[in-house]
């Protein structure tokens, strides 16, 4: 699975599970299993969250990357 997280639907990537950060809440990652993503892309989205939420968000993103996967910020 490939996961793309961004601030605008115009930045959605075909072939990825796309998440709009403007809709982020605690249930956002429930549908994405732990260690299931070969790639997680975060583009222009960390500045949209308060500091405490951004730490939780990064932790959840990192937990979705599989052992041989990559995360791009």
pLDDT in tens, 21-73: 888 777 888 889 999 999 999 988 888 888 888 888 899 999 999 999 999 99
Q: What is the pLDDT at residue 1? A: 94
Q: What is the pLDDT at residue 36? A: 95
Strands 2-6, 17-20: pairing kind = parallel
Q: Considering the entire predicted model, what is its pTM?
A: 0.84
- First vs last C-alpha separation in the chain: 17
Q: Is 45 exposed, middle or buried (0-12, 13-18, 19+ CB in 10 A)?
A: buried
Average pLDDT over residues 10-30: 87
Residue 14 has pLDDT above 80, yes or no: yes
């Amino acid at each position: 699975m490939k996961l793309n997280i961004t601030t605008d639907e115009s930045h959605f990537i075909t072939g990825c599970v796309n998440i709009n950060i403007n809709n982020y809440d605690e249930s956002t990652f429930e549908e994405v299993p732990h260690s299931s993503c070969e790639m997680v892309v975060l583009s222009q989205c960390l500045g949209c969250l308060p500091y405490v939420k951004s730490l939780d968000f990064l932790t959840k993103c990192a937990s979705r990357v599989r052992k041989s996967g990559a995360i791009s910020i």
